[in-house]
Each structure stands twice: as structure tokens, then as C-alpha cells.
Homo-oligomer: A and B are copies of this chain.
């Protein structure tokens, strides 16, 4: 095989090899088999489950026999995004690696350095005979990118470590000291349709800045579904509105970028246009800093044969209008950059098969506050006939920054190598750490990662020099875990 990276370095070699094994979420089987084959060849203890989580254990090296074991963990799945032009099948095609200015990337697709770097580090360490370490429990997890599925489905009796190096970050010289608790699911409201002969219109909202809610919710951007609800509510104040359909947003995790709502209404087209224009003008002013490309258009639509009945339509509109979507409060501990502490996001909406479905996520870095917000929101929604269909809950993690031995060690190692202070990061995103911490009944965790940019985008790239330096940090941490 001709390597693009420097295959004389084990972590480069393994990173490149895994890039050639397709590994989207839910399709980690091939990569898990690769890891198991790797373990078998080396006679290492290994475990796998029906989700394709894999654990490989390696005994302590000489001198470390009495040290407590340490867990290393990275997830095998990757986000699959490509440029619109690119013809690429993530399920079957190997990534096309290239190196530019010291950064490795995959041509016109995500690279999956998130979290391939961590998988590569674990394989390199398991393979080595010259890296000193205590007993290792290497956890190759699955489905991180789609709701922390692997760690939530794991049988933790397979693991025993009380200390843990998470290899799933994006910034060299940083560690997460706070990640969010997350609840994901849908608000659902039954809808009843009736026959229609009134004229119909479609309001189309697009051009919003959108992006991932964990990062962008704090920016108070416009949400296309909320805007649609505001417009429908405004029209509904003046004339009867019968929703025919509403469709907006894509992923539940994202701020809704677009929304189409088709409705029947007997008010004059001119009157409806005036109302839409007024809301558009207001929303444009309100969001001029965050959503300069906002566009809202009203178009006559073919008469829909079926529309929601009076009650279903007004309740659907009211529900969407009243359900909060945005940052609830900011994290006062994290000041640079500003982060949300608690937030709710209406990611998408659809109406079909007699149900209005609203993809909705709750995030909060403090667990009690998450459930308080959840209670309030579900109580509110219940008054509009909607219940929450919870799909998953995953735990956040809050480091005990005063007492964490792992954190102290990582701070020391980073200082020794660079003379700089480790950056303690508060995020509003979820990660595997919280679920693993929960599963293990509490574990002392740190995050060690190289610099990766444009994560989750087709331009994703990893700094190879940082990839090398960070491997040295990991080795130094392991060496000091006596």
C-alpha cells in the first residue's frame, strides 16, 4: 500500500488505514472487525457487543503492574458530509486523503479526524512495545455522532478503570471541564384533516445562518420554524388559517435553516402579503446581525384537497409559536467564547400521517436545571395537546477541577512540554464522556486532542504536527500514571 501519510509512524499508519475502511454511524461493523482482528493477531483480550462497541485490553508494561488501569476511548463513527458536486458513497468508498500545508484532509468530504485520530492513537499504543503504561482498557465506541449510542448501550461490567483519557477533542492543549446533558426527541401532536376548497399559499423561509445548536444557539439567531409560526399566527389573528402542511429544518441538533408552510386562507392575497411583509421586515431588523441573508416569500399554491381542521390547525400554530427555541441562559463560568448553559432547540418540523412532529432538544450543563426546563416545557406543550416522545437522554460531565488527579497530571504534562497552561474548555455540546462517567459510576476524565479544523464539514482537516505532538502528550501522561 502506498501511504499518503508517514507510515513509519504507527499513529499515521493506523489513521490512514482506518480512513480506507468506511465508518459512518451505525455502520461501524467493518472497522470494529478490523480492530478485533488487530487484537487477535496480538493476542490481546477483546470484547464486542451487538452495537459493535469494541474493548481491547492490554496488560501493564513492566514497572506499571501495580498501577491502576486507565481507559482510553475514541469513537469509530464519523460525520459524513461532502460538497454538493462530489460523487461519494460513505458506506462503501475509502476516503481520498491528501496533505496540504501540513494538514491532512479528505478530498471534498469530511475526514473523520473526529474521531479517527483517537482510534489511531489507541491502535498505535496497543501495537507498541516501547510505550510504558499501566493496564489499558481501550474502548472503541460507536454512534457518537448520532446521540452517544455506543456508550449508552455499553455493558460497563467489561470495564473497570477509574481514570480515563478521552481522545475526542478538536483543540490541542485543551480539555473539556464541562459538557452538556442532552435530551433528544420529538414533540408530537395529533392532527385531524378535513376537505378543503379554499385558496392556498406557501410561505417559504430560507437563507438563515443556522448551524449546530450546541455552538450557535447562544447567538440568538433566527429559526425558520419559529418564523413560520410567527407568520401563521399573525395571519391567524386576522383570518382563519388552515395549515395543509409544514416542513422545516433538517437535523434536530441544528437550528432550522428553512421552512415551508402551506395553508388555506380566505383573506385576500394582498392582505396576506401585507402581513407576511410586516413580519419579514420586523424579523429582518431583529436579526440583522445574525441572519443577513434571511428571505421570506409567499406564493400562491395549488388548492390542497386536505387541510388541518380548525382545532388542529390553530393548535399546531400555537404550539410552534409558544414553544421556546433558543438559549435559556449563558454559562457564566465560560466567558470566552460565550456559551449557553441551558438551551432548547426546535430543529425541525413535519406534518404527516395525522401527526405534527417537532424535533426538539434540551441541553444544559447542569443536570437538575435540564430537568427543570424539561418539566416546564412539557407542561407548556401539554396545554397545546402535544407530548414529548423522548428518544434519548445522555449525561453531561463536569470535572472536579479542584481535585481531579488526571487534570492535574495533564496540566503538568502540557506545561512541561510547552510552558503554557492547559485551556479548560466549557462546551454546550454533548460527548461520550458524560455517558461513560455515568456508566462507570464516576470516572476521572480528561480530553487530549490535536488541532482539527472545520469539523463536520467537507473541509475538515487535521494538523499533522499537532497530531504528532499530541501523541507525545498521551504517551507522557501514560508514563506518569504509575
Residue A404 at the chain B interface, CB threshold 8 Å = no
Least CB distance, A51 to chain B, in whole angstroms: 33
Apart from the given pairs A220-B330, A324-B324, A383-B384, 4 other A-B contacts in the complex at a CB distance below 8 Å: A230-B372, A285-B366, A322-B380, A326-B328
Residue A1 at the chain B interface, CB threshold 8 Å = no
Contact of A327 among B283, B290, B329 (CB under 8 A): B329
Question: What 1/0 flags go to A278-307 for Cβ under 8 Å of B?
Answer: 000111011001100000000000000000
Residue A332 at the chain B interface, CB threshold 8 Å = yes
Least CB distance, A79 to chain B, in whole angstroms: 29
CB distance A379 to B282 under 8 Å? no
Q: How far is the CA of A163 from the CA of B376 in the complex (A)?
A: 47
Question: What 1/0 flags go to A325-340 for Cβ under 8 Å of B?
Answer: 0111110110000000
CB distance A233 to B375 under 8 Å? yes
Least CB distance, A233 to chain B, in whole angstroms: 7
Residue A457 at the chain B interface, CB threshold 8 Å = no
Contact of A372 among B282, B318, B333, B366 (CB under 8 A): B282
Contact of A220 among B220, B332, B368, B379 (CB under 8 A): B332
> Which of A283, A286, A318, A332 gathers the greatest number of chain B CB atoms within 10 Å?
A286
Contact of A322 among B289, B321, B332, B379 (CB under 8 A): B379
Contact of A285 among B285, B322, B368, B379 (CB under 8 A): B368
Q: How far is the CA of A341 from the CA of B219 in the complex (A)?
A: 12
Q: Which residues of B contact A96 (CB under 8 A)?
A: none
Residue A158 at the chain B interface, CB threshold 8 Å = no
Q: Which residues of B contact A318 (CB under 8 A)?
A: 379
Residue A369 at the chain B interface, CB threshold 8 Å = yes
Q: Which residues of B contact A326 (CB under 8 A)?
A: 328-329
Q: Which residues of B contact A281 (CB under 8 A)?
A: 368
Q: Which residues of B contact A220 (CB under 8 A)?
A: 329-330, 332, 341
Binding site for B on A (CB under 8 A): 219-220, 230, 233, 281-283, 285-286, 289-290, 318, 321-322, 324, 326-330, 332-333, 341, 366, 368-369, 372, 375-376, 379-380, 383-384
Given A220-B330, A327-B329, A321 contacting B286 (CB threshold 8 A): no
Least CB distance, A424 to chain B, in whole angstroms: 16
Residue of B nearest to A332 (CB): B289
Given A326-B329, A330-B220, A286 contacting B230 (CB threshold 8 A): no
CB distance B327 to A375 under 8 Å? no
Residue of B nearest to A384 (CB): B383
Least CB distance, A198 to chain B, in whole angstroms: 24
CB distance A376 to B285 under 8 Å? no
Q: Which residues of B contact A230 (CB under 8 A)?
A: 372
Given A333-B289, A383-B383, A321 contacting B375 (CB threshold 8 A): yes
Q: Which residues of B contact A379 (CB under 8 A)?
A: 318, 321-322
Least CB distance, A209 to chain B, in whole angstroms: 13
Q: How far is the CA of A383 from the CA of B383 in the complex (A)?
A: 6
Contact of A286 among B219, B369, B375, B383 (CB under 8 A): B369
The 5 sampled A-B contact pairs (Cβ below 8 Å) are: A219-B332, A220-B332, A230-B372, A321-B375, A321-B379
Least CB distance, A347 to chain B, in whole angstroms: 19
Q: Which residues of B contact A368 (CB under 8 A)?
A: 281-283, 285-286
Least CB distance, A31 to chain B, in whole angstroms: 40
Least CB distance, A164 to chain B, in whole angstroms: 23
Q: Which residues of B contact A341 (CB under 8 A)?
A: 220
Q: How far is the CA of A376 from the CA of B227 in the complex (A)?
A: 13
Q: Which residues of B contact A376 (CB under 8 A)?
A: 321-322
Q: How far is the CA of A333 from the CA of B287 in the complex (A)?
A: 11
Q: How far is the CA of A321 from the CA of B376 in the complex (A)?
A: 6
Q: Which residues of B contact A332 (CB under 8 A)?
A: 219-220, 289-290
Q: How far is the CA of A372 from the CA of B384 in the complex (A)?
A: 18
Residue of B nearest to A368 (CB): B282
